[in-house]
Structures are given as structure tokens and as C-alpha cells.
Structure 1
């Protein structure tokens, strides 16, 4: 498990956890205070000690005390804890340049207070120090800010040279396409071959966007699909768009927290649409408890149009936060722990 997590960190350019001495608890300064610069503020707050360690190791801490302006989307300690690595020496094992780019992804080269973020705009894009885009969604009722699938547990902390938001997840950006991401992950190797066998693979190198809920090898094996048995699950016997293709949502770029924002803005936390090249319908729902700061929980189900009265069928649930919201250049990949439509439901009549 440790080896798997470390490989994911390197691929996704994610930082790892650091433990240090206790600092003051995070507080939002009064308007009458003499504000500290970003680097000093992060250094002197216990809840941000892991983020501070990453900044110091990569040389960005000193930059954060510069003129700026900056907006820091700072993952808290719990966000780093989610990655499962607990020793300061773990930083030394990562490529410093890659880690620096990952940290730059959490910093905007501008001052962006809440009142300048478009109200109820979904995935509004801003450039970060890495030269890439982050996606901000600000739902004004009840004033929740989401960034790339992470949630701002504290907003609008005023600094001498910028603004700081405390986030509950480390954001993940993986250079390349959805196709390249899936091909690089050993746990998706059977699904990759299944997509190739079904003629569904090449599209994932295109412009997109795509949202993919990828079943891993264990999920497929649970339904009897392995590398050895895969040739039997071909288009002669099965509706492969239903069996393997339903997890590819073309033309959509969806972080899991987008559903929570859409619920706040439009009153619905679900998406329902026809499976590409099939008459079955998929239904996606996701919710996040922003008070308990729990990971976003999602469900993926299908509806058989020949028996609509049966409602949602084959529902699969998930909340494995560290495996979701993997942003690539042409889409987003999430992990799915089981097949929604089992092989027998995808058999051709």
C-alpha cells in the first residue's frame, strides 16, 4: 500500500506529509491588525504546518513573503494526512522540482477575495503560479467555495500580501490526457484493455473534455472479468457501450464537489443522461457534508428505459477521496469500486 501511494504522489505531483513543532492555531486576523505576509502566516499556524513544510522544502516559503500579491489555496494538515505518509523525511524522497510545481498549483499570482469570485459560477478558471488553470465554484447559499474538488474550510484570510483559503484536499493535476493517466496506473490495466477491445480507447486522447469513473482491476475481477477472461466480453456477445463505456462521460468535466455546488445553486445534486451509443440511462449523484468535513460521497446507477418504474438499479457507492478528482489536460478521472451494470445486464438479446 505504501509503495502504491508513493507512486501516485509522483505521478500526480502531490506533496507528502510533514510533522513539525506546534504553532499557534489558525485564526482570521481582525481588520485592525498588522497583517503578516503569506510565508510568515503559514509558518506560524499549526493547521498549515504540512503545507509550510512543502513550501520550505521547495524554496517557495521565502517567495511567499515577497511583494505578491498572492492567493494561497492552502491544504490543511488533514488534507496531507489523507495521503497516508507521516514522516518529514518523505519530502526528501520526492523530486523537488515536481513538488514545487505541485505547490505552485495551489497559489494564484493575484489577490482574489471572496467578493471578486463570480457568485454561483461553476468552475470559473484562474491561472496559478504553475501556469495552469484551477477551477473555482462559489455557491452563495450557503457561501461554499470549491476548488478542483476541494472545499474551503476557511475563506478570505487577509494577508499583508494577499488572501488565503484553507482547503480540505490536496489538489491533483496530472499532465497529459485521460488516456495517458489510465495507461500509467497499474490498477486500471484490465479496464484499459477492455476499452481498447471495445473500440472505446482512442477517443480518450482527443480534445474532450471527458469525465471517467474508472473501475479498477479488483472491481472487474469481482464480476469475473480478468485479463484472461476479457476476450469473452466482446461486442459479439455484449453491448460493450453499456458494459465498459458507460463510465466515460463525453463532453463533461466534473469534479465530485460540482454536484454539491449544483445542488446549492439549482436544487439538484444529480445528473441523468443516456449512455453514449446505448439506450440505457446513467444517474450520478454526489453530496458532501461541509459541516463534518467528510469526503464527498457519490453514487452511480443506471435506469432501464424498458422498466422505468424500477427506478435506479445497480447502484455503486464510493467516497475514496484520495483516488478521485484527478485532473488531466482533457478531463477528470474518478475511481469506481464496482461495476454498475453487471455482465448479464449487458448481454445482447
Structure 2
């Protein structure tokens, strides 16, 4: 969706920082106040300045002062900084049409206050201005603890750091991540990323590739070329890791979770709603099991941390093995039309553990 742009001179932002415009505090206004329209509110809040710059560059800003109604899921400046976008002029380097679609993805053409979002609803879908679906998960309370209110809202793996800001023509939420959507399939997404070229070749060699063009959904934790190379697997020697010698469903296929559409923040919501932040199941076409766990610290608004490990039912005393940890937020929660792709920094099951006996 967005190219990662390296940070440049901070001085470029100074003219914006010292404008004479009033900077609204991001608080829910009293019902007696006169609310601003969405476009004006975003423009006059410095913490939303990069989102406003993207709106102006793509020609979307003026329309947000129209009748609406709108619901804005606005990434704050820190969310753009995570992608390497640190100043207004950085947007000039991006493809305008692609950026426009990305910004439309953060806008719903309806008014959606918190009290209309289903309590404890997981991945409830709403259409956005781009005609695509966004996935809202609202962990509102713990059903096992009466009166325990949490009210954490997650959208496509992003966390709402501010909710239900009332506008003259809609509602605004401030999000801690830029949501990432790429048209096409998981297969097409992986094929288009050079850093996953060895994993793509491994899936093709193992006859695990074609499934990813199907209806899905699929959640894929994709090891990049560097992760595979750390375990001795490169494009040059990949043919040695073939189905004749290795259980490839274990070595390469364990990272494909079929029938699941999982954003990392879903686990935080499930922890609230059901009391567990983890998922365990048997690896497809193998007897090993995987365990996936993720935790989001909503108080510090830090990246979601995740762990993926495996266990061998024939050796239960060994417990969970091969745990790989990650928290690289900008590489995760890549939504496609048939699933989600996350980045994995290492192999969970090393080649030796996948050798056929």
C-alpha cells in the first residue's frame, strides 16, 4: 500500500507546527457545543497533521466538510512515522491514486458511534469509502466478570487510542496504525514481495502454493529470505529440502493457517472476551501442533507482541518448542482479499525436526 520512506529533515515540519490555527484537543465535546466538520477538525489537530496532508494531497480533504455522514478511522502522526513518513512532503513521493485508495480505506460513509458497535463482536465488517470491508472488533467487557468494562476497539489490527469524537457530520476515532490493504490474494501479495521470494519458491516446490489463490481465508506468518537463510535454506540449495526428504507440511506449511482471518489484535480481544490470548491446533497434514499467542499493551500503546511455537504429541514432556517472537508492527496485518499476511523473523521448526525418519 505505502512505500517505506526514510525520515528526512525535521525542519520541513516547522511551518506547519507554528501556524496560527487553533489545535483542538481530542476530547469528546459536550453536547451543547458547536462541533466542527470532519475536514476542519482533522486539519486543526496537530497530532492528525500527516493524515490531513494525505487527504489534501489526494483531494479528499474538502469532501469531508460535506454533509456526510462519515466515520473517520484516523491514524495519528506516530502511525505514519512507523512507516517512515515523518513530514508532509513525504506524501509527494507516493503514487497519488494508491494513496487516495489507502486514505478512503480509513473512512466509512456512515455515522458509527461506539454504542452502535456490537459488544464483544469480533471482526464485524463495515464498508468503507473505497468499497472494501474493514474489520471492527470491540472487546467491551469480560462476560466472566460482571461490571468489568474494557471497551477496547480494534480495526484491522489497529487500536483506537481515542474513541467517539463527535463531529458536526460524523464520528472520529484516532488509531495507532495505518491500516494496510492490498487488492488481490495472499498468493499475489507474497509473490510481489522480494523479501519472501525463497519462501514462495519453497511453497511451490512443496506443492503448498496453489491453495493460496483459493477462497480462503488464510492467515500466513511468512518467514522472509533472511529467516530462511539463518537456517541454511537459500534459493541455491532449496531443492535439497524437498518432499522426498522432509515433511514439508511441517517445515514450510505450518505457517499457513487455513480457514482463519487473524489480525494480531484479535488475540487481545479474545483474551478479554474468552480469557485466552492464544490459539493451538494440529498442523495441516502433520501430527505436530502449533501454538500462536499475541498480546497488545493498550496502556502503553506499543506494537502487538506475538509468539509462534510447536509441540510434538509423541514427546509431550518437551512442551512448546522453537518459539519465535516478533513485534515488528509495520510488517504485520497485511490484509488481502482472501486473508492476512504477517512477517515471521525466523523458522519455528528447524529442518532437522522436519526430516523424514
TM-score, normalised to structure 1, is 0.94
**Counterpart for residue 197 of structure 2:** 189
SS at match of 2:4: helix
Corresponding residue for 1:45? 45
Query: Which deviates more from structure 2 when the two are superposed, residues 143-152 or residues 52-61?
Result: 52-61
SS at match of 2:26: coil
Structure 1 residue 113 displacement after superposition: 0.3
CA contact (8 A) 2:3 2:94 kept: no
Contact 2:50–2:87 (Cα < 8 Å) also in 1: no
Counterparts of 1:232-251 in structure 2, within 5 Å, are 232-251=240-259
The answer for the alignment partner of 1:11 in structure 2 is none
Partner of 1:14: none
Structure 1 equivalent of residue 145 of structure 2: none
| Alignment length (residue pairs) | 337
Matched, 1:132 2:140: no
Q: Give the corresponding residue for 1:173.
A: 181
Q: Which whole-Å CA distance do the structure 2 matches of 1:155 and 1:278 have between them?
A: 44
Deviates more, 1:332-341 or 1:48-57: 48-57
User: Could you list the runs of 4 or more consecutive aligned residues of structure 1 that deviate by over 4 angstroms after TM superposition?
Assistant: none
Say which SS state the counterpart of residue 176 (structure 1) adopts. Answer: coil
2: CA distance between counterparts of 1:324 and 1:201? 20
Q: Is there any run of 5+ residues in structure 2 with no aligned partner, and where?
A: 7-11, 142-149
Displacement of 1:85 in angstroms is 2.7
Q: CA separation in 1, counterparts of 2:4 and 2:234?
A: 23
Helix, strand or coil at the partner of 2:171: strand
Write the distance in 1 (CA, Å) between the matches of 2:170 and 2:138. 19
**Offset of residue 4 of structure 1:** 6.9
1:98 counterpart residue number: 98
Instruction: Report the Cα distance in structure 2 between the residues aligned to 1:93 and 1:47, rounded to whole angstroms.
Output: 22
Q: Is the 8 A contact 1:26 1:47 kept in 2?
A: no
Unaligned runs of 5+ in 1: 8-17
Contact 1:35 1:160 in 2 (8 A): yes
Note the 1:1-349 alignment, pairs <5 A. 5-6=4-5, 19=13, 20-21=16-17, 24=23, 25-141=25-141, 142-349=150-357
Which residue is 1:15 aligned to?
none
Q: Deviations over 1:8-54 (max 9, x none)?
A: xxxxxxxxxx9432562433322221000000111111111111111
Give the conservation status (yes or no) of the 8 Å contact 2:26–2:165. Answer: no
1: CA distance between counterparts of 2:216 and 2:233? 28
- CA–CA separation in structure 2 for the residues paired with 1:178 and 1:295: 23
